[in-house]
Amino acid sequence: MRVLAVGDIHIPAEHPGYLKFCWDIYEYWECDKVVLIGDVVDHHAISAHASEHDAATAADEYKLARDRIAEWQDYFPKALVCIGNHDIRVERMALSAGVPPQFIRSFKDTWETPNWEWDFEHYIDGVRYFHGTGMSGQQPALRAAIATMTSTVCGHVHSQAGVAWSAAPGPMKGGKPQKGKSVFGLTTGCGVDISHPAARYGANMLRRPVLGCGVVLGGTHAYFERMAI
């Protein structure tokens, strides 16, 4: 497969040129599969943190996100989606309030995405795709790949992007090491617009979001494509 790995979008705090950029990369690499790496929506108004005074209400944010997701579906009618920590904020809030899962709609129904498959991780050509929840610091995808010795694609850490490799020796047999294994970690970057009220918290941080997406070919070659601003 030729996979486009879209970074964290954080709708509606999405850079206005990010969708077109991802589509251009999809076309350039002649991709035939799309994975949204998670945090498709931001849920700024549904958070333990204080909301910006000029940010949308939860109801307005839902309408904005639903309409924008419809535009993403126009470009990518079928996609695999990795559920991110922002995506699941509503479910976590319901859980803390004692609301049983039977009363919570699925992501497909909530966002009207019948042909998007939402799950916490997906595997394509032996490569693991997951949001990256719990990861931080430098080269999160590579560290996840080394931990499982499985090539890995993740997002979550907005200031990190790129591809790194690690190789391990194979087991000893007859006093000689056998063929080892190489794995890559692809950190996708994101599509966040730091001028948006929902992303304003990061406007003065030393590390800024790296805008871009990833491409994986046949499970063996990985590339990061940076979106120039």
Quick check: 82 and 121 in contact, CB under 8 A?
yes
What's the one-letter identity of residue 8?
D
Q: What gap in Å lies between CA 116 and CA 118, rounded to an integer? A: 6
Banded model confidence at residue 101, pLDDT cuts 50, 70, 90: confident
What's the one-letter identity of residue 228?
A
Determine the pLDDT at residue 17: 97
Tokens of 46: 């549904």
Banded model confidence at residue 178, pLDDT cuts 50, 70, 90: low
Determine the pLDDT at residue 49: 65
Tell me the average pLDDT across 197-218.
87
Q: pLDDT tens, 71-94?
A: 999 999 999 999 999 999 999 888
Is the pLDDT at 165 greater than 80? The verdict is yes
Quick check: 125 and 218 in contact, CB under 8 A?
yes
Q: Is 177 exposed, middle or buried (0-12, 13-18, 19+ CB in 10 A)?
A: exposed
Q: Residue 161: which of 200, 102, 214 has the closest Cα? A: 214
Indicate the pTM of the whole model. Answer: 0.92
Average pLDDT, the chain: 92
Over pLDDT 90: what percentage of the chain? 74
Check residue 120 and report its DSSP letter.
S
Over pLDDT 70: what percentage of the chain? 95
Query: Measuring CA to CA, how many Å separate 12 from each of 1, 2, 16, 116?
Result: 30, 28, 10, 19
Is the pLDDT at 36 greater than 90? The verdict is yes
Tell me the average pLDDT across 62-68.
95
Strand, coil or helix: 170: coil
Q: What gap in Å lies between CA 160 and CA 190, rounded to an integer? A: 9
Q: Return all residues near 223 (Cβ < 8 A) that are at least 6 apart.
A: 29, 163, 186, 214, 215, 216, 217
